[in-house]
Structure 1
Amino acid sequence: MRLNKPAIFIAPLLTLLYFRTFIWLLNSWLTEPYYSHGFLIPLISAFILWRNIHEFKERPREGTSNPEADLESEPLPFKPGIFIFAFGLILYIIGFLTIFPFLSALSFLFTTSGLILYFYGKPLMRASIFPIAFLIFAFPMPSLYFEKAAYTMQALSARYPAALLHLLGIPVTRVGAEIHVTDSSFVIGLPCSGMNSLISLLALAALFIYLLHCPRYKKALLLCLAVPIALLANILRVTALLLIAHAYGAETASGFFHTLFSPLLFILAVIFLILMSVVMRCKVKGG
């Protein structure tokens, strides 16, 4: 596919326009532990985009039955794409004027999609839609919504482990996010709320679901299941640590096992998500 000359000039202009936004993203990835995975997202998106375009260009043309085969010929611009581009610019301006960098970052998805549609048409947009949408997992959530979600996760991660210990007959007292068991006290802070696992699992789930061959409603259901799966994994993690603290003391629970359980339960959450996809009879593309 040949590049339209205007697109060659617009790409660096778009980079300059979003330079401040890119710096904000880079700083967030470096300083916010919840989004330390942000560096990987653009790399994954770029690889998927390259793979999609390469696969479409390698496919033999079969008349009009294979719309992606148009990628081998001259691009067919889709003029209404300019409206999506304009909408993205409006979002960017609002984000810039209100000092709301998340909105400016979000606008990048629309401006890029609009330009692809306008210059190259629907075939390339079909190849680009997931890689572009996947970038949203690299954008730090606005603090207002993040804190609401984190405090909710924190409350649930304190309430249910305490309830489980009570069912097991272990003396336990909970005051807000503070749990007292035997001679030990634990505070379920925001870092232990499970938000880190939730954000990472959602991104990984979206990537995994994209690779599956199954109806869209099943894909949507799997993505929604990532939230309770992440929450359940964190509840089990906190419960296990409290059981260890009850049996062996707080120092044992807050040392090696505290470090071990975070990645271990995340891996179990991923395995459970894969098992759910098998139950739904979803298969990996090409598998």
Structure 2
Amino acid sequence: MATSIISSEPSRNRAPSGPLWSPRAIVLALAVAIFAIPTMIFVIRVGWSGEEGAHGPIVLSTGLWLLWQQWRSSRSVVQPPSWPFVWIALAVLVPLTVFARITEIVEIEGYLMYASLIVVMYSLTGLAAIKRMWFPLVYLAFIFPPPDTIVYAVTIPMKMWLSKAAIGALAIMDYPIAGEGVRIYIGQYELLVAAACSGINSIISLSAISLFYIYMRHQAEWRYALLLVLLIVPVALAANFVRVIILILLTYHYGEAAAQGFLHNFAGILLFAVALVGIFLLDAILHPIFERLRTRRARGFYE
């Protein structure tokens, strides 16, 4: 009996064998990693330099940490991949990534490169491990800026709504304000609600950070987590509505230079922090109610 215990100990600590450590998989992983470095440099230089990508470093660091945590619990299900699928997928993704890099379409290039990395990860771990690590893999996709076509399609109705809401709110307070489309006229000033003020940047950044918070805190309660996710958009829109109101008032009372300088960026940062705190407060308020309702439902089921 003692001999069997001693002989079984090394197998408990031994790393999984098979596709994870095969020479072919290691060479493939190194090749794609080298291929991905220029894309990441491009994303950092272009996508993270503005307000729309300010959350990128936070998502990258927290996402890699979460991926490592999930990987530690997924090593037991490592299995051989389907190598024909790996080669076919890379044969499609790699040329498309090269084309996107040549044309300098950073949004498409980032997503194509990331898809290639997921294919390589699948070649190292198999499908079962990928399924266990689904959330960090989805979460890490937020490091790439969304395509401009999607941004334009989403921001146009948001800018229209914010313009009308701001004009209506200030008109009630007897400000000399009017508007046409996304243009706002107040006093002698003309303002344009840009994409940065439409809420799309706040929605993307707030969604990324809030998803991490919701997953870490409520991953076992998927219905409640879904409720918090659905609240991200209205919270971001409310915060940007306040931001537009502040910028209009700054322009009217202190001039265009005051509203477009430091205070413009500071208002965006401040309102993003307020929106994030708003998600935390909503969680603190709604979670006890959700737990109370679930307890009552459980009691009614067993009675």
**Is the contact between residue 161 and residue 239 of structure 1 (CA under 8 Å) also seen in structure 2?**
yes
1:149 matched to 2:158: no
SS where residue 212 of structure 1 aligns? helix
**Is the contact between residue 172 and residue 179 of structure 1 (CA under 8 Å) also seen in structure 2?**
yes
Q: Residue 48 and residue 77 in structure 1: after superposition, are their counterparts in 2 closer, same or farther (change >3 A)?
A: closer
Q: Distance in 2 between matches of 1:49 and 1:101?
A: 22
1:16 matched to 2:31: yes
- Residue 48 of structure 1 and its aligned partner are, at CA, apart by 1.7
Structure 1 match to 2:293:
none
1:95 matched to 2:96: yes
Q: Distance in 1 between matches of 2:147 and 2:255?
A: 38
Q: Distance in 2 between matches of 1:131 and 1:114?
A: 14
- Residue 115 of structure 1 and its aligned partner are, at CA, apart by 3.0
Richer in helix (by share): 2
Q: Counterparts of 1:125-274 in structure 2 under 5 Å?
A: 125=130, 128-213=133-218, 214-274=220-280
Q: So what's the TM-score if we normalise by structure 1?
A: 0.76
SS where residue 146 of structure 2 aligns? coil
SS where residue 243 of structure 2 aligns? helix
Structure 2 match to 1:41:
59
SS where residue 211 of structure 1 aligns? helix
Q: So what's the TM-score if we normalise by structure 2?
A: 0.72
SS where residue 241 of structure 2 aligns? helix
- Residue 233 of structure 1 and its aligned partner are, at CA, apart by 0.7
**Is the contact between residue 38 and residue 137 of structure 1 (CA under 8 Å) also seen in structure 2?**
yes
Pick from 84, 107, 113: which aligns with 1:105? 113
SS where residue 248 of structure 2 aligns? helix
In structure 1, the gaps of 5 or more residues are 57-67, 283-287
Q: Output the amino acid matched with 1:258.
A: H
SS where residue 186 of structure 1 aligns? strand
Q: Output the amino acid matched with 2:140.
A: L
Structure 1 match to 2:68:
50
**Is the contact between residue 105 and residue 139 of structure 1 (CA under 8 Å) also seen in structure 2?**
no
Q: Residue 248 and residue 146 in structure 1: after superposition, are their counterparts in 2 closer, same or farther (change >3 A)?
A: closer
Q: Residue 131 and residue 276 in structure 1: after superposition, are their counterparts in 2 closer, same or farther (change >3 A)?
A: same
In structure 2, the gaps of 5 or more residues are 1-13, 101-107, 289-303
Q: Residue 203 and residue 103 in structure 1: after superposition, are their counterparts in 2 closer, same or farther (change >3 A)?
A: closer
- Residue 209 of structure 1 and its aligned partner are, at CA, apart by 0.8
Q: Output the amino acid matched with 1:239.
A: I
Query: Number of residue pairs matched?
Result: 263
Q: Residue 267 and residue 244 in structure 1: after superposition, are their counterparts in 2 closer, same or farther (change >3 A)?
A: same
- Residue 88 of structure 1 and its aligned partner are, at CA, apart by 4.8
**Is the contact between residue 94 and residue 116 of structure 2 (CA under 8 Å) also seen in structure 1?**
no
- Residue 272 of structure 1 and its aligned partner are, at CA, apart by 1.1
The alignment's C-alpha RMSD in Å is 3.2
Q: Residue 134 and residue 85 in structure 1: after superposition, are their counterparts in 2 closer, same or farther (change >3 A)?
A: farther
Q: Residue 155 and residue 86 in structure 1: after superposition, are their counterparts in 2 closer, same or farther (change >3 A)?
A: farther
Structure 1 match to 2:44:
29
- Residue 149 of structure 1 and its aligned partner are, at CA, apart by 2.0
Give the share of equivalent positions with the same residue, in percent: 22
Q: Output the amino acid matched with 2:56.
A: G
Output one character per residue of 1:133-173: Cα deviation in whole Å (capped at 9) or x when no partner.
Answer: 21110122222212222333333332221121122222211
Q: Residue 168 and residue 105 in structure 1: after superposition, are their counterparts in 2 closer, same or farther (change >3 A)?
A: farther
Q: Which has the larger radius of gyration?
A: 2
- Residue 184 of structure 1 and its aligned partner are, at CA, apart by 2.2
